[in-house]
Amino acid sequence: MLRPTRSLLSDALTILKGVGPALAKKLEKLGLQRVEDLLFLLPLRYEDRTQLVKIGALAAGTRCLISGEVLLAETAYRGRRNLLVRISDGSGQLTLRFFHFSRQQQAQFQSGVRVTCFGEVRRGSAGFEMIHPEYRILRESQDATMSDSLTPIYPATEGVQQGRLRNLTDQALRAMQDEPPVELLPQAITEKLGMPSLAAAIQYLHRPPPDADIEQMQAGKHPCQQRLAFEELLAHYLSLRSLRALAETDDAFALVDGSEQVSGFIDDLPFTLTGAQQRVVDEILGDLAQPHPMMRLIQGDVGSGKTVVAAIACLKAISCGVQAAIMAPTEILAEQHWRNFSDWFRPLGIEPAWLSGSQKAAARRASLASIADGSAQLVVGTHALFQEGVDFHRLALVVIDEQHRFGVHQRMALRDKGIGEEGHPHQLVMTATPIPRTLAMAAYADLDTSVIDELPPGRQPVSTIAVPDSRRSEIVERVRSACASGQQAYWVCPLIEESEVLDYQAAEASYQVLTEALPELRVGLVHGRMRPAEKERGMQAFKEGLIQVLVATTVIEVGVDVPNASLMIIENAERMGLSQLHQLRGRVGRGAAQSHCVLLYKPPLGRIAKERLAVLRDTNDGFVVAQRDLELRGPGELLGTRQTGLPDYRVADLVRDSELMPQVQITAETIRTSSSELAATIVRRWLGDAGRYGKV
């Protein structure tokens, strides 16, 4: 009996010709481990090598295929050693220039030898030239060969040339012809969306025919790309939903006691909850009463009152005799929470504990001891909360603020601190960066979402204008006038090129200028390189009105509430993202006076910078701002690339492919209901065995 032939696709890459252990290690940097992975390493762009271009018809800036005869090859010394090879095809002449070459390579270019080259045409001192082109020496009587498909350019890694990647994908494509990858999408879906088969889409994208629409493919809108993007988005969505389903099988503390204490706390607040806040509180309290862990995301614009909602959730946990923890991404925001919660909870006999990386050893030991023995009913801190050596007594609720600054792994690490015999802790994550719906569907599918879409009464929209920095003196006068009338002002110097040093110098320089220009005013300075105690003193002095103008870096983006501050000046606004500018603007407009935000920019402005500043002038709606930020910069920038744990998509683009998400959601629920095995197979194809989220 003949056994069916086994596909190479599931084998390690070392099964392929030319792949040894050293190359396999380099390929792993591209996420390539199995032969099938090569099929999903899609080209970044394409080059047309399907026709020869006459040298006489070349144009500077184009990339093309040419063929000609070597006239001469010589070494020149013009600042550095060059190999110059002059070739002609009868219609004109072109120079090939090499900066890195060997004697053997130089010897190849004998006069009369015919060569085929591909590269970018540039204008040189002696006419057109190509610098380090790809080339091939032709044998006698051998004609120049042209590709029968567009040439793919793949993502590169050190030590792996494009020719090698094309050779390996050729081998993988041949293996696919012998046994095409299994179609995992239901036929009804592919037919409804007019999608090709998976094998046809992969073959087309790796080796497009000469008449392929390159513009459509560069835009990522070709049906073959959409076919793969859909399945990849589906895999990530299924993975997050799987994480959610796993959580629903876990036990958790059912927090049903303490209703009277919670109601009394709400009644004693010096303000009335908005309808949106009350609705979200009801949703949270309903979740906390369940014997399974809550996994809820609260979205709310700057100043919508998320913190007091979190406080109500924490009080509910404490009233049930268990612990709550609040984690914030920066010390300054964590300190603000610690102060707020202390003010609210001390009258109730609850003393919040503090834990951060900069704590002195004795204070840290005391905090760790109170956390471990349960006397710390509420713990506030930074990422130090989930580090080794932190042992909670009965952690039942984890609150994470500015959740987009933390990755999924960090969020889960804190949750894992609370897993015990009584179950898993509830999770409440908050963000003041409103997230467009399609992005939230893709990035936070493991969470229920609540939106506080109503600002407290009396909050007026902030008037925003953009002004070139040549009018700086006018703005300084505006600051003088505002402070003379009893108001206060922020003067923000943003981070430039992620450099703390430059950030510090910019703030120092502005501080010096404003101190000299406004001698009658008290000017303060706060920046990220100060000790926490110094920053705290500066912030507190501003809050108490002892400082009238606070020069600051973006450390004040979140966490500072000064109702008397009605003017915000932001330097180099053209360098910043919309959402960050909106966050900064939200520091004013918290009192009764009309507030203003001035965006100082350095002309000339590029197109995107103009659009960005125009959005802020036109709207105060955080969701509108976030949607435009998403369109202009992409999801990684909107949510903070480095730490979010946002998945790296191989094919999909959350902005470009956002219209696929509603259908992805519907398809995912259909598959999850009908076949958990199929769902797991789709996830495994795109995310590998790690499951990325499901096994955090």
Closest CA to 400 of 296, 547, 551, 281: 296
695 vs 239: CA distance, rounded Å: 9
Asked whether residue 331 carries a pLDDT value surpassing 60, the answer given is yes
Q: Which residues pair with 314 in a beta bridge?
A: none
Asked whether residue 554 carries a pLDDT value surpassing 80, the answer given is no
Q: What is the mean pLDDT of residues 624-643?
A: 63
- What is the tens place of the pLDDT at every residue in 208-251? 998 999 889 888 899 999 999 999 999 999 998 988 888 888 99
Quickly state the pLDDT bin for 695 (edges 50, 70, 90): very low
β-bridge pairing 596-601 and 114-124: unpaired
- What is the tens place of the pLDDT at every residue in 680-693? 999 988 887 644 43
Q: What is the mean pLDDT of residues 62-87?
A: 91
- Per mean pLDDT, which range of 52-56, 440-444, 521-525, 613-617 is the poorest? 440-444
- The percent of residues above 90 in pLDDT, for the chain, comes to 52
Q: What is the mean pLDDT of residues 372-399?
A: 92
Q: Please identify which residue in the block is written with the tokens 């918290």.
A: 590
> How many C-beta neighbours within 10 Å does residue 480 have?
17
- What is the tens place of the pLDDT at every residue in 605-627? 888 889 889 999 999 888 788 77
Q: DSSP assignment of 160-175, as one string?
A: B-HHHHHHHHHHHHHH
Q: What is the CA radius of gyration of the chain?
A: 31
- pLDDT of the residue at 501: 53
Q: What is the mean pLDDT of residues 130-137?
A: 92
* pTM check: above 0.75: no
418 vs 426: CA distance, rounded Å: 9
Q: What is the mean pLDDT of residues 545-564?
A: 81
> How many C-beta neighbours within 10 Å does residue 518 have?
18
**Residue 375 in tokens:** 């006397």
Give Cβ neighbours of residue 188 (< 8 Å, ≥ 6 apart): none
- pLDDT of the residue at 645: 44
618 vs 464: CA distance, rounded Å: 8
* Cα torsion 138, 141, 144, 149: sign: negative
β-bridge pairing 93-98 and 378-381: unpaired
> How many C-beta neighbours within 10 Å does residue 258 have?
18
339 vs 556: CA distance, rounded Å: 16
- Per DSSP, the three-state class of 447 is coil
Per-residue 3-state assignment (H helix, E strand, C coil) for 114-150? EEEEEEEEEEECCEEEEECCEEEEECCCCCCCCCCCC
β-bridge pairing 93-98 and 127-131: parallel
Q: What is the mean pLDDT of residues 494-499?
A: 54
Please name each of the domains of the chain with its CATH number. 13-46+154-212 (no CATH), 51-146 (2.40.50.140), 259-452 (3.40.50.300), 463-619 (3.40.50.300)
Asked whether residue 6 carries a pLDDT value surpassing 60, the answer given is no
Which of the 8 DSSP states describes residue 413?
Answer: H
- The residue among 506 and 370 whose pLDDT is bigger is 370
Quickly state the pLDDT bin for 560 (edges 50, 70, 90): low
**Residue 353 in tokens:** 């504990």
Q: What is the mean pLDDT of residues 571-575?
A: 88
Asked whether residue 468 carries a pLDDT value surpassing 90, the answer given is yes
Give Cβ neighbours of residue 141 (< 8 Å, ≥ 6 apart): none
- pLDDT of the residue at 415: 76
**Residue 328 in tokens:** 């914030």
Helices marked H in 197-274: 198-206, 214-218, 223-249, 259-268
Cα–Cα distance list, 490 to 39, 523, 594 (Å): 53, 10, 15
- The residue among 422 and 73 whose pLDDT is bigger is 73
Q: What is the mean pLDDT of residues 35-64?
A: 91
Give Cβ neighbours of residue 426 (< 8 Å, ≥ 6 apart): 252, 253, 255, 287, 288, 293, 294, 295, 317, 396, 397, 398
Quickly state the pLDDT bin for 266 (edges 50, 70, 90): very high
- The residue among 590 and 524 whose pLDDT is bigger is 524
β-bridge pairing 426-431 and 151-153: unpaired
List % helix, strand, coil for the chain (3-state, nearest 5): 45, 20, 35
Q: What is the mean pLDDT of residues 320-332?
A: 89
Mean pLDDT for all residues in the chain: 87
Closest CA to 117 of 210, 55, 206: 55
Q: Is 545 left (phi over 0), alpha (psi -120 to 50) or beta?
A: left
- Per DSSP, the three-state class of 201 is helix
- The percent of residues above 70 in pLDDT, for the chain, comes to 92
463 vs 218: CA distance, rounded Å: 40
- What is the tens place of the pLDDT at every residue in 217-228? 888 899 999 999
- pLDDT of the residue at 456: 80
* Cα torsion 672, 678, 680, 683: sign: negative
Asked whether residue 561 carries a pLDDT value surpassing 80, the answer given is no
β-bridge pairing 45-47 and 151-153: antiparallel
Contact between 645 and 409 (Cβ < 8 Å): yes
